[in-house]
Amino acid sequence: MDIADFRTIIALTETGSVTATAKALNRVPSAITTRIQNVESQLGKVLFIKSRGKFHPTGEGHLLYESALKIIELVTSAEDQVTRPRPGGRFRIGALDSMAATRLPRPLARLYQNHQSISVELMTGISRTLLNAVLSYELDAAFIADAPIDDRLERMPVYCEELVIIAAANFPLIKHPHDLCRTTLLAFQDGCSYRDKLTTWLKSAGIRPVRLAEMSSYHAILGAVSAGMGAGVVPKAILETFPSTELISVHPFDRAHSSVTTDLIWRKNEKTANVIALIEILRALE
């Protein structure tokens, strides 16, 4: 007996019909009948009895059916272990600077724990840079803020970040864009989603910053703010990593701009085993 025999036994037992079995196995009905007859001849047992137009397994037929289920399950498992890609090898992930410091340590630690054959390479940057790096095959996946709708990408929402405005400890309460009209803004380079939200808010009131100083990290922004060099917008979660919070003041950002979704993105139709493993861990940690 071979695998095709076992699949035929299972299908005929479950459908009771030669025609339905033939359709399920992409065979002609005569081939199903011949196969059953050959198995019965080989075993010297009657496996099916036809009654009222339907095939019913005999006692021996039912025993063979149960054994066939176990055999097919073992074969399927063996095939899956050989053919299904396994997580491992080089995994290039991009992330926003703030996320690398606050959100990623836990899932990356779990990824290493579950799949020790994965070698993660982490690149930090602004959303636009990371997006382009995914599209140009420099990264396998990336965490970016408010990923755009792009037919070349697939994405999964991961986190919701709350943005706040930070300034020196003695800075007056910030409620309106005009409160920042004479203040230097501290931000990442152009293409940063958080910077875009802050400048959009200012433009809504016709405000242009007197000066915009570009920084390379959130800790640089926090340090500059604490020194009284200006104001900036940061994810609230990043404040937990700053040791001198008494040197800064935290102001609620405009509600229409303060909520940001962090998405995990990867190239369309390229959800690799490593990406799948990361997604499973992110969902498990929700």
Which CATH number goes with the domain that contains 29?
A: 1.10.10.10
Query: Can you give the pLDDT of all 286 residues of the chain as single tens digits?
Result: 899 999 999 999 999 999 999 999 999 999 999 999 999 999 999 999 999 889 999 999 999 999 999 999 999 878 776 676 789 899 999 999 888 888 899 999 999 999 999 999 999 998 999 999 999 999 999 999 888 889 999 999 999 989 999 999 999 999 999 999 999 999 988 888 889 999 999 999 999 888 999 998 888 999 999 999 999 999 998 898 888 889 999 999 988 888 899 999 999 999 999 999 999 999 999 7
pLDDT of residue 81: 66
Instruction: Mark whether 253 and 166 lie in a shared domain.
Output: yes
Task: Give dist(CA 143, CA 7) in Å, integer.
Answer: 45
Q: How many domains does the chain have?
A: 3
Residue 119's region, left for phi above 0, alpha for psi from -120 to 50, else beta, is beta
Q: How far is CA 286 from CA 9, 22, 93, 97, 108, in A?
A: 44, 45, 20, 21, 14
Q: Could you tell me the CATH number of the domain that includes residue 101?
A: 3.40.190.10
Whether residue 139 is found in the same domain as residue 149: yes
Which of 61, 83, 105 terminates a domain? The answer is 83
Task: Let me know the angle formed at the C-alpha of 124 by 93 and 255, rounded to the nearest 5 degrees.
Answer: 105
CA angle 252, 107, 130 (to 5 degrees): 65
Q: Which domain holds residue 16?
A: 3-83
- Between the alpha carbon of residue 2 and those of residues 35, 38, 98, 248, the distances in Å are 11, 12, 58, 74
* Residues 19 and 153 both lie in one domain: no
- Please tell me whether residues 145 and 267 are part of one structural domain: yes
200 and 237 both lie in a single domain: yes
- Of 55, 83, 111, the residue that ends a domain is 83
Asked if residue 243 and residue 111 are part of one domain, the reply reads no
Q: Which two tokens stand for residue 261?
A: 């979704």
**Cα separation values, 114 from 174, 194, 252, 279, 286, Å:** 46, 33, 39, 13, 17
Number of other CB atoms surrounding residue 145 within 10 Å: 23
In eight-state DSSP terms, residue 231 is: B
Which of 83, 102, 125 finishes a domain? 83
Is the same domain home to 50 and 127? Answer: no
Same domain, 93 and 206: no
Asked if residues 145 and 161 have their Cβ atoms less than 8 Å apart, the reply is yes
Q: Are 140 and 193 in a shared domain?
A: no
Residues 155 and 273 in one domain: yes
Residue 229 half-sphere exposure, CB side, CA atoms within 13 Å?
Answer: 15
Same domain, 133 and 178: no
Give the per-residue pLDDT at 42. Answer: 94
Count of residues making up the chain: 286
Q: How many other C-beta atoms are found inside a 10 Å radius of the C-beta of residue 106?
A: 12
Q: Residues 173, 198: one domain? A: yes
Angle between helices 3-15 and 59-83 (to 10 degrees): 120
